[in-house]
């Protein structure tokens, strides 16, 4: 079957509708729809009729193998398998499947991507640099972008969390934000002094762009509507260029930097897990892989056996 041939299935649509009510993230929903429609298209191309009760483990394994042969990365295959497993769990709950044939299946192991945090001094330069003159003298956009940068780094927000932030989620008295994370899991993020100052400055001029008083989004565009993820990515990248960064700056890199810098300073893995809103601590442990040279220097300075060896060498 052609990869562009539209496919549909009433149970698939029912699953996606339920997911929309639970998740709320358009990006997540689009991923589920794309993955599952590709899976259904593959099955139809092999002669399978959507009688889900007859779906076998072998058919799922064959689909994953085909995707692997087509060059799909292990990480993407893992996501496809996760989407399929979730859909089949739904069918199980609806008593249309007695067992989930995707349970126990494993995708090819993906190499874990280590975060690349921005150097602290570089970040200080980014956040403290004057941007007004470079923006053609437009103060509102400068004030808004400063608040965006401060919240991404100062609160460790995901891009989707920043974009979905509403006015009633901001509490300057308690110095915190109420953040809606993945799976609509709510958490409270401390609002640091500089982030609070930048956010207050933005909220004081936000009305200049407001077209509808019913708009509750914290961050809006010049059209007065909730800012889009693409617009945030563009503005963050531009700020990085203006700060002289050679690598592209993106919102998730600021979150990486928030996590890495916190963990380096505190060593509190559980605390950083809570602040990031990670459901599983294994997601947070990636930040413990600090640069080996840094660890070697700490060892040389602090470990008594290392110091003793150095002293013996000096004596010899």
252 is catalytic: yes
Strand partners, 220: 226
263 in Cβ contact with 288 (< 8 Å): yes
Indicate if 278 belongs to the active site: yes
Tell me how long the chain is. 316
Is-catalytic flag, 158? yes
Q: Residues 6 or more apart from 116 whose CB is under 8 A from it?
A: 247, 253, 256
Q: Which of 182, 225, 238, 250 is catalytic?
A: 182
Catalytic residue among 32, 153, 258, 287: 287
Task: Tell me if residue 206 is catalytic.
Answer: no
* Cα-based distances in Å from 284 to 77, 125, 312: 22, 27, 40
Residue whose structure tokens are 């996606």:
16
Residue from 68, 85, 194, 278 carrying the catalytic annotation:
278
Catalytic one of 80, 131, 158, 235: 158
Buried b (16+ CB within 10 A) or exposed e, 279-309: eeeeebeebeeeeeeeeeeeeeeeeeeeeee
Q: Could you say which of 248, 252, 308, 310 is catalytic?
A: 252
| Catalytic-role residue among 144, 255, 256, 261 | 255
Q: Which residues are catalytic?
A: 158, 182, 252, 255, 278, 287
């Amino acid at each position: 079957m052609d990869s562009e041939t539209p496919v549909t299935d009433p149970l698939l649509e029912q699953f996606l509708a339920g997911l929309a009510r639970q998740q709320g993230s358009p990006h997540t929903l689009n991923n589920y729809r794309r993955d599952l429609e590709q899976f259904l298209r593959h099955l139809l191309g092999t002669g399978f009729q959507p009688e889900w009760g007859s779906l076998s483990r072998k058919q799922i394994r064959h689909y994953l193998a085909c995707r692997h042969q087509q060059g799909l990365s292990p990480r993407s295959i893992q996501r496809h398998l996760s989407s399929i497993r979730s859909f089949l769990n739904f069918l199980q709950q609806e008593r249309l499947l007695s067992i989930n044939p995707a349970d126990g299946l494993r995708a090819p192991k993906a190499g874990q991507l280590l975060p690349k945090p921005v150097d602290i001094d570089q970040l200080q330069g980014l956040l403290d640099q004057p941007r007004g003159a470079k923006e053609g003298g437009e103060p509102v956009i400068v004030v808004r972008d400063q608040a965006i940068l401060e919240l991404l780094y100062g609160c460790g927000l995901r891009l989707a969390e920043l974009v979905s932030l509403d006015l009633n989620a901001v509490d300057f008295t308690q110095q915190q934000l109420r953040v809606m994370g993945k799976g609509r899991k709510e958490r409270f993020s401390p609002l640091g002094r500089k982030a609070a100052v930048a956010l207050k400055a933005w909220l004081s001029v936000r009305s200049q762009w407001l077209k509808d008083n019913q708009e509750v989004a914290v961050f809006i565009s010049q059209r007065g509507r909730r800012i889009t993820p693409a617009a945030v990515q563009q503005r963050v990248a531009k700020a990085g260029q203006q700060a002289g960064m050679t690598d592209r700056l993106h919102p998730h890199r600021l979150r990486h930097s928030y996590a890495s810098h916190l963990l380096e300073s505190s060593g509190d893995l559980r605390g950083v897990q809570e602040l990031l809103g990670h459901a599983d601590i294994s997601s947070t442990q990636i930040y413990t892989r600090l640069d080996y040279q840094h660890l070697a220097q700490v060892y040389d300075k602090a470990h008594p056996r290392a110091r003793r060896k150095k002293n013996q060498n000096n004596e010899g």
